[in-house]
Amino acid sequence: MAIAGASPSIPPRSPRGVFANEPFTDFKDAENLRSIRRSLDQVAAHLGVEYSLIVGGKRLKTTDKIRSINPARPAQVVGIHQKSGAAQAEAAMSAALRAYGSWSGTSAEERASLLLRAAEIIRRRKFEFMAWLIYEVGKNWAEADADVGETIDFLEFYAREALRLDAVAPPIQYPGERDELFYVPLGAGAVISPWNFPFAIMAGMTSAAVVAGNTVVLKPSSDAPTIAARFVEVLEEAGLPDGVVNFCPGSGSSFGNAIVEHPKTRFISFTGSKAVGLEIHERASRTQPGQIWIKRTILEMGGKDSILVSADADLDAAIEDVVASAFGFSGQKCSACSRAILEAPIYDAFIERLRERVATLTVGDPAANHDLGPVINREALSSILNYIEIGKKEGRLIAGGNAPATSDGGYFLEPTIFADVAPKAVLAQEEIFGPVLALIKVASFDEGLRVANNTEYGLTGSVYSASRERLDRARRVFHVGNLYFNRKCTGAMVGAHPFGGFNMSGTDSKTGGPDYLHLFTQSKSVAEKL
């Protein structure tokens, strides 16, 4: 159900026009301030609603339920969802296969228009969707706004990319022939989406598959199924036919594995942890009876991302962006800065100024727009606290380290910084996925680059330096999929920064880039002799 009065209607952009990123919301504007507060109140009145599975357009219930809770107030239920298991996997895949027959035959123009209609609906209800993100995963206002804006960007961008792929031609026409090249959809596949960007990543993965002509079984994270349910409602409102997207929250070990292993599953698009991604890749590689293709896996996994600060850097800018990259959304981003690598001449001064800046951050209920909200659940809180205990043995605690108690029992953690961490320490190597930053001192810029490359990941990185020679060296040597100079290592923008990493960070799928839709298609060459 839509919440009335969320934002004014805005006409959709033409798919033939030039793509432009959705602007960020200025919360200093009085009308925007009223809109977000009004939407928080309106959405609060709709918390705790029960949602059905959607399989082939039918609403279904299961005995087992998933309760999505507000991590800032764990007693507050955001949504009650059905829990799909192995029994529902066959029905969901059958529905997706039935819908594929007709959906794959629709024109690229029709599929692109559906995405643009969905983008218009979300843009019109932007503040409402921000409120759902604030309640379900604990994003503050700016983080929720960025998530919604990126969702709109993915829909708008992939609509245009589908039209571009539809218009491709072979590089040459061979003499005496009529030569054609088509990008055709793969089939029915699985989208397994994460909780940390539960709107943008979930919608981006789903819409890319759909606009390319595929059908989808969507399994959102059990920590964030409500925003996914709301997105599927948007797709239905935009005119998506039954069975093209089948909404199935459920257990990864039963429903997720059953879909991955199903012989008719053509592709699996996954964003999440390295461990789960590798398991999916392994399961998908096993050929099942009746399977006639090699399943395609599109995997976005973890990161252990570094910001390297040179002795000649603008320290004010570097400190501000290290704080933003490390502690935005409580560090719960695969792109988050979890290591600041500092040249020795600036090391002590950087620490003191960083400590002063972090002391100004507030921790609390994201509905009140604190700098840091909660981490996602009790298990995450426990895991991060364990890493903090390891950090106390491996480094020098200079800020944070505590889990503030609240009357509502929220899963809050202070922004935490350890200095004097060795490059191969646990704190410097393992993905923590929380508000914990390790500071590493290096004797030279070249040593800093070696340290930056010393993990099994290769997702994002940033370098702060005034030296063109040093930046050029980093451009060649720093081995990550997304490298930034003199800016933070989070906040990739659709179109400008195609996103995806190397090594154990995944298959370098480059979401929001010109290559992404290729992953959901296969090219067909047709030559006719004249």
SS (H, E, C) 216-272: EEEECCCCCHHHHHHHHHHHHHHCCCCCCEEECCECHHHHHHHHHHCCCCCEEEEEC
User: Catalytic site residue 379?
Assistant: no
pLDDT of residue 323: 98
Question: Distance (Å, rounded) from C-alpha 224 to C-alpha 235?
Answer: 18
Question: Distance (Å, rounded) from C-alpha 335 to C-alpha 43?
Answer: 29
pLDDT tier at 375 (50, 70, 90 boundaries)?
very high
* Phi/psi of residue 60, nearest 5 degrees: -125, 155
Question: Distance (Å, rounded) from C-alpha 370 to C-alpha 89?
Answer: 40
Of 22, 156, 334, 489, which residue is the catalytic one?
334
pLDDT of residue 16: 60
Beta strands in 345-459 (DSSP E): 396-399, 416-419, 436-442, 457-458
pLDDT tier at 15 (50, 70, 90 boundaries)?
low
Return the amino acid letter for 148.
V
pLDDT tier at 407 (50, 70, 90 boundaries)?
confident
CATH topology of domain 30-301+509-526: Aldehyde Dehydrogenase; Chain A, domain 1 (3.40.605)
Of the chain, the percentage scoring pLDDT greater than 90 comes to 95
Residue 7 has pLDDT above 60, yes or no: no
pLDDT of residue 160: 97
Domain ranges within the chain, ordered by starting residue: 30-301+509-526, 305-493
Of 22, 261, 300, 343, which residue is the catalytic one?
300
Tokens of 331: 């560090």
C-alpha distances (whole Å) from 115 to each of 119, 367, 488 are 6, 30, 30
Can you tell me the mean pLDDT for 336-361? 98
Can you tell me the mean pLDDT for 20-34? 97
Give just the sign of the alpha carbon dihedral 108, 109, 112, 113: negative
User: Which residue in 142, 127, 135, 34 sits closest to 369, CA to CA?
Assistant: 142
CB 71 within 8 A of CB 38: no
Rg (CA), the chain: 23
**Do strands 305-309 and 460-464 pair parallel, antiparallel, or not at all (unpaired)?**
parallel
Is residue 119 helix, strand or coil? helix
pTM of the model: 0.96
Can you tell me the mean pLDDT for 108-123? 97
Give just the sign of the alpha carbon dihedral 370, 371, 377, 378: negative
pLDDT of residue 253: 87
Question: Distance (Å, rounded) from C-alpha 134 to C-alpha 22?
Answer: 19
The one-character DSSP state at 286 is S
Which residues, including other chains, have CB under 8 Å from residue 20's CB and lie 6 or more apart?
13
Identical fold, 30-301+509-526 and 305-493: no
Residue 11 has pLDDT above 50, yes or no: no
Question: Distance (Å, rounded) from C-alpha 332 to C-alpha 111?
Answer: 33
User: Catalytic site residue 356?
Assistant: no
Q: CB count, 10 Å around CB of 487?
A: 16
Tokens of 138: 């604990």
pLDDT of residue 2: 54
Beta strands in 199-247 (DSSP E): 215-219, 245-247
Q: What is the CATH number of domain 305-493?
A: 3.40.309.10
User: Which residue in 437, 490, 516 sits closest to 197, CA to CA?
Assistant: 490
Tokens of 284: 């998908």
**Do strands 65-70 and 73-82 pair parallel, antiparallel, or not at all (unpaired)?**
antiparallel
* Phi/psi of residue 166, nearest 5 degrees: -70, -20
Beta strands in 174-244 (DSSP E): 177-185, 188-192, 215-219
Can you tell me the mean pLDDT for 45-55? 98
Q: CB count, 10 Å around CB of 402?
A: 12
* Phi/psi of residue 451, nearest 5 degrees: -65, -40
Is residue 16 helix, strand or coil? coil
Return the amino acid letter for 380.
A
Q: CB count, 10 Å around CB of 500?
A: 25
Cα end-to-end span (Å), the chain: 56
Can you tell me the mean pLDDT for 91-120? 97
* Phi/psi of residue 67, nearest 5 degrees: -105, 115
pLDDT of residue 12: 52
Which residues, including other chains, have CB under 8 Å from residue 317's CB and lie 6 or more apart?
464, 486
**Over the stretch 221-245, which tens digit does the pLDDT of each residue have?**
999 999 999 999 999 999 999 999 9
pLDDT tier at 482 (50, 70, 90 boundaries)?
very high
pLDDT of residue 17: 73
pLDDT of residue 18: 86
pLDDT of residue 6: 39
